[in-house]
Amino acid sequence: MPEIKPIKRILIANRGEIALRILRAAHEMGIETVAVHSTADADAMHVRLANHAVCIGPPPAKDSYLNVAAIISAAEIAHCDAIHPGYGFLSENAKFAEIVEAHDIVWIGPKPEHIRTMGDKVEAKRTAGALGLPLVPGSDGAIDTFEQAREIAAQIGYPVLVKAASGGGGRGMKVVPDESQLESLMSQARNEAKSAFGDDTVYLEKYLGNPRHIEFQIFGDGRGHAVHLGERDCSLQRRHQKVLEEAPSPVISAEERDRMGGIVAKAMADMEYRGAGTIEFLWEDGEFYFIEMNTRLQVEHPVTEMITGIDLVREQIRVASGKDLSCTQDEIRFTGHAIECRINAEDAYSFAPSPGKVTAYHAAGGMHVRVDSGIYAGYSIPPYYDSMIAKLIVYGRSREKCMMRLRRALQEMVIEGVKTSIPLHQELIEQDDIRTGDYSIKWLEDWLAERES
Ligand code: ADP
């Protein structure tokens, strides 16, 4: 029998909607919560709703939400027995996970060694390949010299993509159309990676022309059991940032989901992966190509919750405390369709951030409508953090019904005082390609460019 570590009080090392999301799962399990916050977030909803709150520093994230010493001290002072990192900030920091565990605090996340392996994209690709996942053709590991890059690029064929081993958010990534530009684009990618991640290691991949982004949600108990919770289609992206996500993918059949999900779950079981994880693939002409694994909860996790009825944060907490997964693969059923719109405080078309005071707020409601957000009327959106202020998630028995409900829900949302991306979403869901699900990762940028001209 595994050792059960009872969790009575969780420190939530995050802010905004995800801090609330974690708080809700914890409170429903009878677990207390401790919010941490920067001075800019003293009036935030997660601070108000948590059982206790600790201020951990000034507004810049490096002094507060990334301040390891302040967070560990807060956990000790407030007698927390677990820490949930949410997404972003310290969630994929293996060193932080180790420090948490060294303080005898339960880390609600994967084993630190798995965070480390998957955080290095070169290592991640090697590991995924060894576990039997299909890869994008490319260099076998890091590229050291330009000569080496030229040889490999010639083998895989142009266009190629130079990617940073420590990359994230699309940074340190360059598409190289032909050999004449390889040298200059490779050094640009290196410089970008060096300044963004302090690591200029790069590798090469075949640049796929028109793929979809399809990712599988997985869950492991850390002892060799793992399940998959189906896929999410996140192809609607701008500058590699997801804008709208849906589950299931409009192009994946039930048989294909079972087949690929089975491969992914087996890989995670073999690895003895613990907790929630997402395996990201590009998908083109019926083939999957692994690109990376995220060792944390994803922003878009609610669409999976809507079609499976499984609370992923509850599952994370269970597994972290040493319990078994709450269900077997056979018990996981996929029903209906869910779509999430990320609502940002920004101009809908120029994407310029629009922080400031929310003068009026009304969340959409009704059957099968979920709004995950930390804002309220009178709340001032601070300029220091990510611009996402709400997620609107809608469920329907079919994709068509889901789209109809989404249109109605978007119309109901009222956020005044700041600009938001709601008008963009309203326009998007009226487009034929979106209505029929016929879009790739290029679609949104092409559409935006056409709209501009
Ligand atoms: P990051 O960690 O920076 O987000 P990813 O490897 O997850 O990097 O890739 C982000 C996005 O970049 C993908 O969702 C896809 O849109 C695009 N992309 C990545 N690899 C390729 C590739 N080989 N061909 C075409 N597009 C790619």
What is the CATH number for 173? 3.30.1490.20
Which string of b and e fits 331-351 if b means at least 16 CB within 10 Å?
A: ebebebbbbbbbbbbbbbeeb
Q: Is the dihedral of CA 311, 312, 314, 315 positive or negative?
A: positive
Q: How far is the CA of 168 from the centre of ligand 1 (A)?
A: 9
Token pair 């699309």 in the structure block, residue: 170
Query: What residues contact residue 102 under an 8 Å CB cut-off, 6+ apart?
Result: none
Type and span of the H or E element at 214: strand 212-221
Answer yes or no: are the C-beta atoms of 35 and 23 closer than 8 Å.
yes
* Domain end among 172, 206, 240: 206
Residue 353 tokens read as: 């951030």
Q: Which domain holds residue 150?
A: 137-206
Band (1; pLDDT cuts 50, 70, 90): low
Strand 380-381 versus strand 356-357 pairing type: antiparallel
Closest by alpha carbon to 274, among 109, 405, 50?
Answer: 109
Strand 106-107 versus strand 82-84 pairing type: parallel
Q: Is residue 128 included in any domain, yes or no?
A: no
241 in the same domain as 289? yes
Ligand 1 close to Cβ of residue 278 (< 6 A): no
Token pair 């326009």 in the structure block, residue: 427
Rounded to whole angstroms, the Cα distance separating 128 from 124 reads: 6
Band (26; pLDDT cuts 50, 70, 90): very high
Catalytic one among 257, 296, 370, 405?
A: 296
Q: Is residue 122 included in any domain, yes or no?
A: no
Peptide bond into 159 cis (omega under 30): yes
Span 145-155, mean pLDDT? 94
Q: Is residue 279 included in any domain, yes or no?
A: yes
Q: Is residue 173 included in any domain, yes or no?
A: yes
CB-neighbour burial class of residue 411 (10 A; exposed 0-12, middle 13-18, buried 19+): exposed
Task: Flag whether pLDDT at 139 surpasses 70.
Answer: yes
Give the type of residue at 303: V
From residue 283, how far is each of 69, 154, 249, 275 by CA, in Å? Answer: 42, 23, 11, 25
Which of ligand 1's atoms lies nearest the C-alpha of 207?
24
446 in the same domain as 316? yes
Answer yes or no: are the C-beta atoms of 199 and 165 closer than 8 Å.
yes
320 in the same domain as 220? yes
Q: Identify whether 296 is a catalytic site residue.
A: yes
CATH number at residue 36: 3.40.50.20
155 in the same domain as 271? no
* Domain end among 91, 108, 125: 108
- Residue among 240, 241, 288, 442 whose CB has most ligand 1 atoms within 8 A, to mutate: 240
379 in the same domain as 290? yes
Ligand 1 close to Cβ of residue 283 (< 6 A): no
Type and span of the H or E element at 57: strand 52-57
Predicted confidence at residue 148, as pLDDT, reads 94
Rounded to whole angstroms, the Cα distance separating 371 from 413 reads: 10
Task: Flag whether pLDDT at 82 surpasses 80.
Answer: yes
Ligand 1 close to Cβ of residue 120 (< 6 A): no
Band (369; pLDDT cuts 50, 70, 90): very high
Ligand 1 close to Cβ of residue 208 (< 6 A): yes
**SS3 category, 174:** strand
Residue 374 tokens read as: 């930390």
Span 236-245, mean pLDDT? 94
Predicted confidence at residue 296, as pLDDT, reads 98
| Residue 308 vs residue 140, higher pLDDT | 308
Rounded to whole angstroms, the Cα distance separating 379 from 15 reads: 14
Band (443; pLDDT cuts 50, 70, 90): very high
Ligand 1 close to Cβ of residue 314 (< 6 A): no
CATH number at residue 309: 3.30.470.20
286 in the same domain as 374? yes
Q: Is residue 2 included in any domain, yes or no?
A: no
Q: How far is the CA of 281 from the centre of ligand 1 (A)?
A: 9
Tens of pLDDT, residues 28-62: 999 999 999 999 999 999 999 999 999 999 999 99
Residue 178 tokens read as: 């032909």
Tens of pLDDT, residues 319-361: 999 999 999 999 999 999 999 999 999 999 999 999 999 999 9
Rounded to whole angstroms, the Cα distance separating 162 from 167 reads: 11
Predicted confidence at residue 422, as pLDDT, reads 98
359 in the same domain as 278? yes
**Alpha helices for 346-452 (secondary structure H):** 399-412, 422-428, 432-436, 443-452
* Domain end among 166, 189, 206: 206
366 in the same domain as 219? yes
Residue 343 tokens read as: 């609502």
- Residue among 162, 282, 287 whose CB has most ligand 1 atoms within 8 A, to mutate: 282
Q: What is the mean pLDDT of the chain?
A: 97
Tens of pLDDT, residues 246-255: 999 999 999 9
Rounded to whole angstroms, the Cα distance separating 122 from 140 reads: 8
Q: How far is the CA of 170 from the centre of ligand 1 (A)?
A: 7
Ligand 1 close to Cβ of residue 136 (< 6 A): yes
Tens of pLDDT, residues 192-221: 999 998 999 999 999 999 999 999 999 999
Rounded to whole angstroms, the Cα distance separating 30 from 444 reads: 43
Tens of pLDDT, residues 395-442: 999 999 999 999 999 999 999 999 999 999 999 999 999 999 999 999
Percent of the chain whose pLDDT exceeds 70: 100
Predicted confidence at residue 166, as pLDDT, reads 87
176 in the same domain as 88? no
Q: pTM for this structure?
A: 0.96
Rounded to whole angstroms, the Cα distance separating 271 from 145 reads: 32
Which of ligand 1's atoms lies nearest the C-alpha of 164?
3
336 in the same domain as 227? yes
**Alpha helices for 181-253 (secondary structure H):** 182-197
Predicted confidence at residue 169, as pLDDT, reads 76
Q: How far is the CA of 195 from the centre of ligand 1 (A)?
A: 19
**SS3 category, 408:** helix
Number of domains in the chain: 3
Beta-bridge partner residues of 391 = 342, 372
Closest by alpha carbon to 227, among 120, 333, 112?
Answer: 333
Rounded to whole angstroms, the Cα distance separating 24 from 92 reads: 22
Predicted confidence at residue 332, as pLDDT, reads 98
Tens of pLDDT, residues 372-408: 999 999 999 999 999 999 999 999 999 999 999 999 9
